[in-house]
Structure 1
Amino acid sequence: MTLRFEHETLGQRVRFASGSAREAVAAEVELLGATRAMVIASRSETGQAERITAGLPVALVHDDVVMHVPVPVAERARAAAAEHDVDLLISVGGGSTTGLAKAVALTTGLPIVAVPTTYAGSEATNVWGLTEGAKKTTGVDARVLPRAIVYDASLMLTLPVGLSVASGLNALAHCVDSMWAPRTDPIDAALAGEGIRTLAAGLPRVVDDPSGLEGREEALYGAYLAAVAFASAGSGLHHKICHVLGGRYDLPHAPTHAVVLPHVLALNAPAAPEADERIARAFGTETGLEGLEALRARLDAPRALRDLGFEEDQIPDAVEAILPSVPESNPARVTPESLERLLRGAWEGADPR
């Protein structure tokens, strides 16, 4: 077989070392020559953020962080950055925090140093997202790609097991979607396969020993691989569905991904046997869905959208909202009927097999 593809590798520096966040962030501030940093962290993480940035030239700490980055929240952060004449954004937190930093960078061009505290993966992508009313809009822009990432697995030790599982499965969804997303290529598939293998090894260790560092490191490394693959491959069907569900019905981001993923895999795998074989090989199982469901059972993962606040009578509206964004390259044909079956199964928490 002759290989033909185009692959773009995004340029950013990654510092990965447990217990080193403070030193690593300081090194990045020095490299960038920043003198007035804006630290973005949710109210629950401002203490940790202040410890990480202690002694640095911080102009302000901004804690107005909201899930799915509503436009008014982004505008307030942009105004704060302008008022304090900042020259660097330091985000300390999960996907919502990183997303808010990206919203500021999108209109200002300010560089970001991202310090993740979940396995969201947004820090390794050039994808931004904003929610206005009930609609979440996403886009791609080089300005929002963090200049550097500081990965410190010790920051994950306080992340509750339930949130760790949901966040880790969100990362795994990046891997699965990268197998058949619109711009996928063999490099993305290789990264995604290794991401699945590493997450499948690390997440059970996090559940068994939440205070242990090795499982957290494995999961964090897997989440990074997943995000790099996703940044190149683009959004597949799974993410198109979850963006609508999150933005339109204000569902929690990571648990929604954890619930929807097996249903998308069940739909697409029969139409994409090579991708399914890669996923299965990464899990060490006969099929990808078998491996995913075994892992979800092992982790006691979220199972039903109705448990997350999604109502049964919202399914027809969701189908109508999702259909226009279904990628043409999706391996399985998506019809209103098949999409309704998928969402109903996810709402009920039905076995996708």
Structure 2
Amino acid sequence: MNLNQKKSAFIALGQFLSQFSLDNSARKEGVLHNDLFFDKFIDLIELSQSHNGWFTPEQVHYAINSWAEALTEENLNEWLSAYDLSNVQPKTVGLILAGNIPLVGFHDFLSVLITGHKVLVKTSSNDQKLLPFLADYLIAVASEMADNIEFVEGKLENFDAVIATGSNNTARYFEYYFKDVPSIIRKNRNSVAVLDGKESKEDLVALGEDIFRYFGLGCRNVSKLFVPKGYDFKQFFEAIYEYGDIIHYEKYANNYDYNKAVFLMSLFPLLDNEFLTLKEDSSYASPISSVFYEYYDDLETVKSKLLEDSEKIQCIVSNNLINRSISFGKSQKPKLCDYADNVDTISFLSKI
């Protein structure tokens, strides 16, 4: 398959995904293979929560809609225009995927196939159904892709390069095990927001999206706030009040109760609105249902700290207070060129 044929297959997938929404999934005229896949995908979405309790219909639909918006001809052309893929020598690339949020490994899957390689996928036990289904749809659209897509359940073998995502502990194992092949090894990262107290209510409501989307399980979720000394959190709590229904989800509520109890038993001072706790802490990785915060005297200090800790940070949210930061509410809407850990996956795959 040439590049245009591969792009066309993913564009068709984007059109297929665009039919599904939380409130009203409806067939669109002209979408390929709806007779085979439409009803099955609705069933899979409904069953996703039984496979992973965090994969509620709302969260799965959000992930699906994000990819539907990304997989357009315009977006794919803009993304790939920066690369020369004409001399890529096809290889087999192993993917070890995370499963913290729905379809979290799809960008790697897309990148391997679009650059002309074969993908060998080991899914997470927490997300085993969605990606294979989308792979089946791609193969129905372009049967030639069948030779370039393989899912494995056991040990990953017979690959020329690997992209592996895991915790800091598993990353050490990955680095040793894959030391003899080209690799991208991803570790734990967190996202932060930098506030100066001038944010509007709309900004802070949007920040709530960055915090609560996917229940805070993603590396692009804001888990840490930098605020100026003397910052009044009243406006912040008022703005995020509209996310309060999250406490009615049992798994989140259990985490809220547990983590709050641990903090209180440790005599940590907390700010609490009955569905989110705020704890002053220099760390970045806060537990589910909690966000850490840290006071600053001047922005230059924050900029220096974030630069020093760049390998711990996935993205930064602010009102242009920090260079290359993301607008409030956009952390879970990355563009195709927004690479995990700021490692250019396409560049890596074009040179192996």
For this structure pair, what is the TM-score category when the shorter chain's length is used for normalisation?
A: under 0.3
Higher helix share: 1
TM-score where L is the length of structure 1: 0.25
TM score, norm. by length of structure 2: 0.25
